[in-house]
A and B are shown apart, each in its own frame.
Chain A
């Protein structure tokens, strides 16, 4: 049975989705994001996506803290 994926426009089959990974590098944080796009042809879904601000219908984010905070002691 095909995997189903929860998105903001409903639950869709994996075969109608594609995703791309993006990486943002910051001084103390690396952020990985996975943006999902619809590749199907259902006009109802396409109509809903057309009025959305962003093209992606699902986005996962993983910020990784590279280095936390340090408190320096002084004598």
Chain B
């Protein structure tokens, strides 16, 4: 019952927000976001410490909509509800009292929670499809021409991906006659890999598109880096919404793993998208686009980590999902504040943030140190675990990705220094409060990384003194090399200063999706042959 409440409460409240006068609704929506956070914390408590698995399923019947909450789902629930509360506090009064905005924003929370609570394929399809529509409207919220284009392409590409997923669901139902995860897991072992290959390729195409994996990432920078969307929407999309694809990835791969094992292939897909994301991020001059391309690379890193066989690396990837949600939403919020004050999005035209807006500068430093994996910050712990591989190639790849991240954030942190500029700066208490809370969390989750990992996964992993020394050394060498490379090679290039546009035409995006589907199918057939 409480699981239904968790989904229905935001959706019903959003209707009230739309109908009631806005004087009442700001209080009401704040209360709703807070209540949802309390609910999900309680669920986390029950699943983690009392060992319960909460479900709405009453009988043994396989059909019907059931919601289901285990430990990993409840971790996501807490993360989603916490960040939605933060974003609600961050949004300024003008947007908060806008009826359409608060309606869509609150509905989105209910739908995202539904994705994490769903236990059958069709339910997840419905939740993702509807939330994509809501996101598309939020992206084009300011009705700027570019944002309308971005929202349209985002919606069309995602719907095409989800239609591949839906056809996969049809194939699955045709073969097994069931759709919920438990009965699919029970029945899937009775089928041969050859029978399931086509189904798996279709499902995985949809899931990898949602994760923005290598050849299918073109929608992500459009959606997350669009100029017209409100800052909090970009932060939610990049911090939390893209994780729904990762969650789906974890579930689908786990279901099919006993029959078809694709981990080696998926590892390389992750590495490719991580490297591609970094290269494109370095070529951007738009501050929001840099962050958007970095989301691609970090999601690639997470996919590569999740596809590894070692428990260490998988735990690191889980931790990195949480850490990425914190520092990426923090960086997006800080970028939004800078854009608002300096009235430009070009990274080469923003100087001296540390002098003009010191608190915002502190937040950027915390975010940058987090994402590059500096000692004592949250990225360092998860990146340390991600690099713990027995074989050489994955370790080298992780080092390379980390180096690329550092290079582009050396470029990003250039905005902090320089002479003070007279940018108009509106000091809003809640904005500062939210970014400082998130910065403190970046530091806290880094200092308390091991207990946090124990809390969310139940694994007891130790780093040890030699590990810490190794981490600090690696980060320092990385940083110096990245600084030298940026200072003496990259900053000289005028081509990079202009920014390189990587957007491609809609038709080519669809060709990319079809090609990835065929490649996936071919690899699955090869791996079972």
Q: Do A and B come from one complex?
A: no
Which B positions have Cβ atoms within 8 angstroms of A? none
Which A positions have Cβ atoms within 8 angstroms of B? none
